[in-house]
Amino acid sequence: MPQVQTVRGPVDTAELGPTLMHEHVFVLNADVQQNYPEEWGSEDDRVADAVQKLTKLAATGVRTIVDPTVIGLGRYIPRIQRIAEQVDLNVVVATGCYTYDDVPFFFHHRGPALNEAVGAEVPDPMVDMFVGDIESGIAGTGVRAGVLKCAIDHQGLTAGVERVMRAVAKAHRATGVPITVHTHPGSHTGLQVQKVLGDEGVDPRRVVLGHSGDSTDADHLTELAEAGFVLGMDRFGINLDTTFEARADIVVEMCRRGFAGQMVLSQDASCYIDWLAPGVMDLLPQWHYTHIHEDVLPYLREQGVTEAQITTMLVDNPRRYFENVGTY
Ligand SMILES: [Zn+2]
């Protein structure tokens, strides 16, 4: 029986149930928080708030969330463990590195950065770090990562972005753990992901192109789906440069085009994100964990998306993504 690693241990893929494939618990700048903790306030209060919000999510019937919080987003597993112990929800955590441009300074003078100095190919320590998180667990917690994460945004395939993407691909090839990529569909970054991951021998069926739902370009999304990728329609509720209807209608259109089997739904929400000044969240009243179940699914049904297609997107696609197809 294929299994997925979660914060509370391995879960059979058949038991994942309705799954939101991209939800954070916290998004933090760890070193800013260490030095300016006033806004964060009490650790106990933040944990209690997360337990309450995730308990409300679990009441919708969602059984699993995938939390792609990695280096660069303030991953801290002991806090997630404390929360997961108190909520009836599977939480899959990630390894990887989140950057749109350069690698963190930690990596500047390690690995491939030294190729020229030593006159030989130096392996990237990122690969071993990611593989260790997957096979041995994260920072002594015993919690093993169940997904790999990297990013590419409007800056395109910078040297740093490519280095992380190749390290993620190599860790995937070594472990079979699937990949989720933050992409910027407006600049067709999915095609660059296709090039790099294709070059590394990654099966696109094991890759979510995150934030695909930011686009309303059905032809571009069709091209990516036909290449085999899973499309992350995963920012429901972030309606700043777009609208509720635009995000929902592109899902309807892609279902109509026959791609329900290649979309996953999520919100990219969090209990607390320190990227936003206090009050900014008030501008995004639908950006929370239960928006899909309260607002999006009823709208999709109204527009003719079937119950079977919804189950495909919430249950079957996540399950298949996590099952090691074992083609390597
Ligand atoms: Zn995210």
Largest interatomic CA distance in the chain: 62
pLDDT tens readout for residues 260-288: 999 999 999 999 999 999 888 889 999 99
Show the DSSP H helices in the chain as ranges. 30-35, 43-58, 77-84, 115-118, 125-135, 159-175, 189-199, 218-226, 244-256, 291, 297-302, 307-311, 317-322
pLDDT tens readout for residues 87-107: 999 999 999 999 999 999 999
DSSP characters over 31-80: HHHHH-TTTT--HHHHHHHHHHHHHHHHTTT--EEEE---BTTT--HHHH
Whole-number Å distance, alpha carbon 116 to ligand 1 midpoint, is: 35
pLDDT, residue 180, reads 98
Whole-number Å distance, alpha carbon 244 to ligand 1 midpoint, is: 18
Whole-number Å distance, alpha carbon 231 to ligand 1 midpoint, is: 14
Mention every residue, 6+ apart, whose C-beta is less than 8 A from residue 143.
5, 7, 77, 80, 81, 93, 137
Whole-number Å distance, alpha carbon 67 to ligand 1 midpoint, is: 8
* Strand bridging mode 3-6 / 9-12: antiparallel
**Average pLDDT for 75-95:** 98
Whole-number Å distance, alpha carbon 190 to ligand 1 midpoint, is: 16
d(CA 324, CA 314): 18
Whole-number Å distance, alpha carbon 141 to ligand 1 midpoint, is: 23
User: pLDDT over 70 for what percent of the chain?
Assistant: 98
Amino acid making up residue 2 = P
Mention every residue, 6+ apart, whose C-beta is less than 8 A from residue 204.
194, 197, 198, 227, 228, 229, 230
pLDDT tens readout for residues 121-154: 999 999 999 999 999 999 999 999 999 999 999 9
Whole-number Å distance, alpha carbon 24 to ligand 1 midpoint, is: 6
d(CA 242, CA 315): 27
d(CA 300, CA 28): 33
pLDDT, residue 325, reads 53
Whole-number Å distance, alpha carbon 91 to ligand 1 midpoint, is: 15
Amino acid making up residue 176 = G
Task: Please check the confidence at residue 184 and state whether its pLDDT lies above 70.
Answer: yes
The pTM assigned to this predicted structure is: 0.97
Whole-number Å distance, alpha carbon 177 to ligand 1 midpoint, is: 18
Whole-number Å distance, alpha carbon 236 to ligand 1 midpoint, is: 12
Amino acid making up residue 221 = L
Whole-number Å distance, alpha carbon 270 to ligand 1 midpoint, is: 9
**Among candidate residues 317, 319, 320, 269, the one with its CA nearest the CA of residue 24:** 269
**Average pLDDT for 99-116:** 94
**Average pLDDT for 62-90:** 98
Around ion ligand 1, residues with a beta carbon closer than 5 Å are 268
Whole-number Å distance, alpha carbon 117 to ligand 1 midpoint, is: 36
Do 223 and 194 touch, CB atoms closer than 8 A? no
**Among candidate residues 33, 28, 144, 145, the one with its CA nearest the CA of residue 96:** 145
**Average pLDDT for 50-64:** 98
- Residue 240 is given by DSSP the state S
Whole-number Å distance, alpha carbon 234 to ligand 1 midpoint, is: 9
Whole-number Å distance, alpha carbon 105 to ligand 1 midpoint, is: 22
Whole-number Å distance, alpha carbon 23 to ligand 1 midpoint, is: 7
Whole-number Å distance, alpha carbon 22 to ligand 1 midpoint, is: 6
**Average pLDDT for 65-81:** 98
Place of tokens 């209060």: 45
